Amino acid sequence: MAFELPALPYAHDALAALGMSKETLEYHHDLHHKAYVDNGNKLIAGTEWEAKSVEEIIKGTYCAGAVAQSGIFNNASQHWNHVQFWEMMGPGEDKKMPGDLEKALVEAFGSVAKFKDDFAAAGAGQFGSGWAWLVKDTDGALKITKTENGVNPLCFGQTALLGCDVWEHSYYIDFRNKRPAYLTNFLDKLVNWENVASRL
């Protein structure tokens, strides 16, 4: 099934006042994400994966323990990761966290503040490129994880509730090398908590 670059669910400048500039989204969505789509389509053409869904491709090509994943996996997973990432953010200064999500986070981590601290620490501690995630694990428990490069929760049978891209292209224009500041800003200003709650 051909990959398609989705339009952003908001204008390119909609997050600028919240710390993610129009320039970042033009580069990140229009160039980086598009490259994963274009390269992924070239790589799956004429293969057994051509008619499969992106989720099937990710699960079918992930190789646990591999030093490096295949090109098909990398592009498919990064396409999927970014589709989720755009939806997990949103404009608006006052984003309320739904009560059911707040309750679940308090039960799992002790407080929303502790969840944010632990999530930010996971993202800051991911060596090199990758992602920080809030997932619902196979046992139903909420957990914070981090993954390298394009690896994502689908590889482990988990449900992604929230993901933050910690590749430098996601934050370098706005935050330079200050990844911890980017993560704090993401959690405090950018996350669309309604979207996160809908994934529970």
Q: What angle do CA 193, 85, 69 make, to 5 degrees?
A: 140
Q: Are residues 56 and 142 in the same domain?
A: no
Q: Which tokens in the block code for residue 39?
A: 């390269």
Name, in order, each residue with C-beta under 8 angstroms of 7's C-beta and a sequence gap of 6 or more.
none
Q: Is 33 annotated as a binding residue?
A: no
Give Cα 140 to chain centroid, integer Å.
20
**CATH number of the domain encompassing residue 191:** 3.55.40.20
Q: Is 82 annotated as a binding residue?
A: yes
Instruction: Say how many domains are in the chain.
Output: 2
Q: Are residues 45 and 125 in the same domain?
A: no
Q: Is 32 annotated as a binding residue?
A: no
Q: Are residues 138 and 50 in the same domain?
A: no
Q: Are residues 71 and 103 in the same domain?
A: no
133's enclosing H/E stretch is strand 130-136
Name, in order, each residue with C-beta under 8 angstroms of 139's C-beta and a sequence gap of 6 or more.
none
Last residue of a domain, one of 88, 117, 140: 88
Q: Which tokens in the block code for residue 15?
A: 């997050």
Domain, as residue range, for 118: 99-198
Q: Are residues 47 and 103 in the same domain?
A: no
Evaluate whether 37 touches 5 at the Cβ level (below 8 Å). Answer: yes
Give the whole-angstrom CA distance, residue 82 versus residue 64: 22
Q: Examine residue 15 and state whether it is found in any structural domain, yes or no.
A: no
Smallest CA-to-CA distance from 122 within 170, 81, 130 is with 130
Q: What is the mean pLDDT of each run of 10 residues along the chain (200 residues)?
A: 97 98 98 98 98 98 96 98 98 94 98 98 98 98 98 98 98 98 98 98
Last residue of a domain, one of 88, 122, 145: 88
